[in-house]
Amino acid sequence: MSDSLPRVFEFGPFTLDTGQHVLRREQEPIPLTPKTFDMLVLLVTSRGRMLPKEELMRTLWPDSFVEESNLTQQISFQHSGIRSLEFT
């Protein structure tokens, strides 16, 4: 998704490593689809800023036409996946 240098972000028990393309919770990798990982990186790097739906879709699916439901599905995957880990 991005040509920028690898970065590591920490939030709560999670570590997001863009170089290794992995999200970990307390050192345990969390399986994410590539698109869900890309969305998480976009959201984390844009923290504090509201991202319009059009910007999300344009950034996540450049040069492609996709339905809004794809964005909704990715948000759902991300939310349910991370939320389910908060209480384990």
Structural domain contains residue 3 = no
Which tens digits make up the pLDDT trace of 24-45? 999 999 888 888 899 899 989 9
Structural domain contains residue 27 = yes
Gap between the Cα atoms of 66 and 60, Å rounded? 10
Q: Find the domain containing 22 and state its range.
A: 8-86
Structural domain contains residue 37 = yes
Contact 7, 19 (CB under 8 A): yes
The CA distances from residue 40 to 1, 18, in Å, are 11, 10
Which amino acid, one-letter code, is at 50?
Answer: M
Sheet holding 28-30, edge to edge: 8-11, 14-17, 22-25, 28-30
Gap between the Cα atoms of 72 and 2, Å rounded? 22
> For position 58, which CATH number holds?
1.10.10.10
Band of the pLDDT at 68, cuts 50, 70, 90? confident
Give the predicted TM-score (pTM) of the model: 0.72
